[in-house]
A and B are shown apart, each in its own frame.
Chain A
């Protein structure tokens, strides 16, 4: 296969004596959507800055399409790179369309499609208003529109959904999936975890400059060995009776007509089959997989396994 779109090789970045990124190993194949999750100060923005060549690693290497982004030679690769900074800002006195025209001149994309791009992010009505009058959400959408200039092959989006209301978040992820289907590599950072689950291929969990874990949501769940919770409701028999019937399982909660079991992810199907055999005694069943939020706090706070780092805090 071709080389990965984005690579971090033992990348460390230190300011004065503060280490903001510590020995990160990460490679993102072309066409993949990866989310960096972590608190503020976890190193997400530093990773973006490294990929943009705004800063150089203290040690290790960073590669974008195989080239050093801080080198002069990689300037041309920025024609096919889109970036949305956290807290995006524009010249206050310019209109939305003027901003688009300015940036598209820098990317030499021609101005013809700029109106269309503004329409795509829902800003066509405000295209000729000054940025001064824009709300935070509108500025964020304009930020996305400029990142889409020139049909980028790589997009770096720092907190792209901050300031967007739920409807706009949905339309944002629609754009992300359109981009993904046309083969764009996307790295986005977020701390709104719940919305990421269905939209990204891979998740990288960052904490205090360290990469705690990477993988798809499923892989992270497997690695974390966090219990799956299955909640069962009954009609005629008591919950404790159900619990007795399924002996050998862990009951994590029980009250009246509801019983909650927990099991290892690999034992999930066995337990579900056993519950199904109970017949009409069971009226309802809910399966709760560990959410990204739970996984995130797991990987931040507790011990990891496999290739993840052990860290106690």
Chain B
């Protein structure tokens, strides 16, 4: 078997052994289930499909949780192995540096994808069972599946950012601190600052600049993809006006999400291959 896959497999096995995978899956399923039942309570009996309501609430959950999970899984991946001494041994084997970094990354993405699919899938199935009808709009299913896939991509973007942090710093503690900072920045500070900018200088900044600024944050790209991509959801989540303003097709948004994965991991790979130990 290829060294790349061997390393990915080792990372997954380690995740199973440390019960990371089971903990993540249970946590995501727990949050998703409670949100999809509580989330549908305020809407009462509306025309809105319960699945669409679930998508809106899970999108908010994802924006908070998956970046955090991604960073927590990955900030330690490189610098931790260097500190523990396992990296030096690994690199004495016939494996290229990109195989080490890429293999570990693939392992982590697999762990995250598994937890998300199972966790959110459970919520979807529960909604379906309790709604009492199997006659749910196929477009809603489509949107639900797209939401799960894009959630994994968002998690992968923050895994990639975590790998970049982990490659750059010299100490684990520093990596952990930076990871928290990055999470606060992208999940809380960025949107508040943007809001402040709009309120304070709304006249000066055009909608073009506003939308470009939104694209500079992977969580906003994810939000746009899920909340503006489908007409029904846009109406439900009150973002229909925003969609008109921003006006990016879902394919562009998905491509941007993927770019947010590729660029950080690619830079991490470049730095890692030149790193001295």
Contacts and interface: CB of A to CB of B under 8 A. Distances in A.
Q: Are A and B interaction partners? A: yes
B130 interface: no
Contacts of A156: 92
Contact of B94 (A91, A94, A102, A106): A106
Given A85-B88, A91-B10, A54 B277 contact: yes
B92 A78 contact: yes
A91 B7 CA distance: 12
Given A55-B276, A105-B6, A72 B96 contact: yes
Given A88-B89, A90-B86, A107-B93, A102 B6 contact: yes
10 closest Cβ contacts across the A-B interface? A83-B92, A89-B85, A93-B17, A78-B94, A106-B93, A55-B276, A54-B277, A105-B6, A89-B84, A79-B94
Nearest to B91: A54
A263 interface: no
B277 A75 contact: no
A103 interface: yes
B86 A91 contact: yes
A83 to B, nearest CB: 4
Interface of A: 49, 52, 54-56, 72, 75-76, 78-79, 81, 83, 85, 87-91, 93-94, 98, 102-103, 105-107, 143, 146, 156
Nearest to B273: A72
Most chain A beta-carbon contacts within 10 A, residue among B18, B85, B93, B277: B93
A93 B14 contact: yes
19 contacts: A54-B277, A55-B276, A75-B94, A75-B95, A75-B96, A78-B92, A78-B93, A85-B88, A85-B92, A88-B85, A89-B85, A89-B89, A91-B86, A94-B13, A105-B3, A106-B90, A106-B95, A107-B93, A107-B94
Nearest to A95: B17
B212 interface: no
B84 A103 contact: no
A78 B277 CA distance: 18
Nearest to A79: B94
A144 to B, nearest CB: 12
Contacts of B244: none
B89 A85 contact: yes
Interface of B: 1, 3, 6-7, 10, 13-14, 17-18, 84-86, 88-96, 276-277
A79 B93 CA distance: 7
A152 to B, nearest CB: 11
A79 B88 CA distance: 16
Contacts of A56: 276
A89 B93 contact: no
B11 to A, nearest CB: 10
Instruction: Give the interface centre of B6, B17, B85, B92 by most chain A CB atoms within 10 Å.
Output: B92
B17 A106 contact: no
A87 to B, nearest CB: 6
Contacts of B14: 91, 93-94
A55 B277 contact: yes
A49 B85 CA distance: 13
A103 B86 CA distance: 12
A91 to B, nearest CB: 6
Contacts of B3: 105-106
Contacts of A54: 88, 91-92, 276-277
A76 B93 CA distance: 9
Contacts of A102: 6, 10
A66 to B, nearest CB: 17
Contacts of B89: 83, 85, 88-89, 143, 146
A275 to B, nearest CB: 53
A106 B96 contact: no
A81 B17 CA distance: 30
B4 to A, nearest CB: 10
Contacts of B92: 52, 54, 78, 81, 83, 85, 156
Nearest to B15: A93
A143 B95 CA distance: 18
Contacts of A103: 93
A88 B90 CA distance: 11
B78 to A, nearest CB: 14
A76 B3 CA distance: 13
A214 to B, nearest CB: 24
Contacts of B84: 89
Given A105-B3, A106-B95, 12 more contacts: A52-B88, A54-B277, A55-B277, A56-B276, A75-B94, A85-B88, A85-B89, A88-B89, A94-B13, A102-B10, A105-B6, A143-B89
B276 A93 contact: no
A85 B92 CA distance: 9
A146 B86 CA distance: 13
A72 B96 CA distance: 8
Contacts of B91: 52, 54
Nearest to B1: A105
Contacts of A55: 276-277
Contacts of B1: 105
B27 to A, nearest CB: 20
A102 B103 CA distance: 13
A143 B90 CA distance: 12
Contacts of A91: 10, 14, 86
A138 to B, nearest CB: 16
Contacts of B13: 94, 98
Given A79-B94, A102-B6, A106-B6, A89 B17 contact: no
